[in-house]
């Protein structure tokens, strides 16, 4: 068992090395275009829904549909398989600073000059002398200082076409999209998913990313530069298990 644990980092390192060696001299391969609902990690969304209401009926000779932005047809996404452009513009900035200072000083002293008449026998047990008024004395002192500072500044601006994968009973749309960009030997991968309201979709069939409920936005990459920035498996394991 111990041998297996010791060999585990080597096995992980070998797997990563084999994967990197397999694409030496070649750019990272792009993922094939696929149905988002058939991905292994796809899960249908279930949200609290209001009571069902009767749909409004349209007159047979009406050319106008409620909520339509054009005279003949609404150009916005509304059904499964429709496309909607999500405008991702993330500009987050946070700064936190905490300072903690704590100090404590304790002193305890206990003495029993007389107890059950045994004070006359103290000399037999303590030939060197004993002062019963100072039977127990303890001192403790504790001081702690702490300071922490966090500064974060992030900016991501992109446009991603997402696919409507599900229409919820209240009319909200579940969307998912993925975009890959490869420049030389470095791949950039953007994925997003969330729930939007049809009324939040603009007349140009776009929606801001902050209108996505349960939004999941990931932006990362892989390739030569990413491999250099990634710590080695051995270093990651040591960072996880070492207590100091």
Q: Give yes or no for residue 195 having a pLDDT over 90.
A: yes
Read off φ and ψ for residue 47, nearest 5 degrees: -125, 160
Reported confidence tier of residue 200, pLDDT bands at 50, 70, 90:
very high
Q: Helix, strand or coil for residue 134?
A: helix
Confidence (pLDDT) at 212: 92
Reported confidence tier of residue 167, pLDDT bands at 50, 70, 90:
very high
Confidence (pLDDT) at 176: 92
Tokens coding 86? 């999500």
Distance of CA 23 to CAs 27, 36, 97, 110, 234, Å? 7, 26, 44, 75, 22
Q: Give yes or no for residue 56 having a pLDDT over 60.
A: no
Reported confidence tier of residue 155, pLDDT bands at 50, 70, 90:
confident
Task: Give which of 217, 60, 236, 229 is closest to 154, Cα–Cα.
Answer: 217
Q: Give yes or no for residue 54 having a pLDDT over 60.
A: no
Find where tokens 């019963």 sit: 132
Predicted TM-score of the model (pTM):
0.58
Q: Give yes or no for residue 166 having a pLDDT over 60.
A: yes
Kindly give the interhelix angle for 233-241 and 2-22, rounded to the nearest 10 degrees: 140
Reported confidence tier of residue 108, pLDDT bands at 50, 70, 90:
confident
Q: Give yes or no for residue 183 having a pLDDT over 70.
A: yes
Distance of CA 220 to CAs 1, 92, 156, 226, Å? 36, 17, 11, 9
> Residue 141 and residue 62: Cα distance in Å, rounded?
85
How confident is the model over 84-104, as pLDDT tens digits? 999 998 887 888 888 888 888
Distance of CA 137 to CAs 39, 107, 110, Å? 70, 8, 6
Confidence (pLDDT) at 59: 56
Task: Give which of 217, 204, 215, 214 is closest to 178, Cα–Cα.
Answer: 217
Confidence (pLDDT) at 44: 86
Reported confidence tier of residue 208, pLDDT bands at 50, 70, 90:
very high
């Amino acid at each position: 068992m111990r041998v297996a644990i010791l060999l585990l980092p080597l096995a992980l390192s070998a797997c990563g090395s084999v994967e990197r060696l397999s694409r030496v001299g070649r750019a990272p391969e792009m993922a094939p275009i696929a149905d988002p609902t058939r991905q292994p990690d796809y899960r249908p969304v279930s949200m609290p829904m209001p009571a069902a209401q009767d749909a409004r009926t349209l007159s047979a000779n009406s050319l106008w549909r409620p909520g339509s932005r054009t005279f003949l047809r609404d150009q916005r996404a509304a059904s499964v398989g429709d496309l909607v452009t999500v405008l991702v513009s993330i500009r987050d900035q946070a700064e936190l600073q905490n300072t903690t200072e704590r100090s404590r000083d304790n002193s305890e002293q206990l003495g029993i000059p007389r107890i059950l008449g045994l004070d006359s026998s103290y000399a037999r047990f303590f030939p060197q002398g004993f002062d019963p008024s100072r039977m127990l004395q303890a001192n403790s002192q504790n001081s702690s200082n702490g300071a922490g500072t966090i500064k974060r500044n992030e900016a991501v601006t992109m446009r991603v076409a997402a696919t409507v994968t599900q229409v919820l009973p209240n009319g909200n749309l579940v969307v998912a999209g993925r975009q890959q960009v490869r420049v030389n030997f470095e791949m950039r991968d953007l994925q997003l998913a969330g729930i939007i309201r049809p009324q939040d979709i603009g007349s140009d069939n776009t929606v801001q990313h902050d209108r996505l409920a349960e939004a999941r936005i990931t932006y990362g990459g892989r390739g030569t530069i990413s491999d250099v920035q990634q710590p080695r498996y051995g270093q990651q394991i040591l960072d996880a298990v070492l207590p100091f």
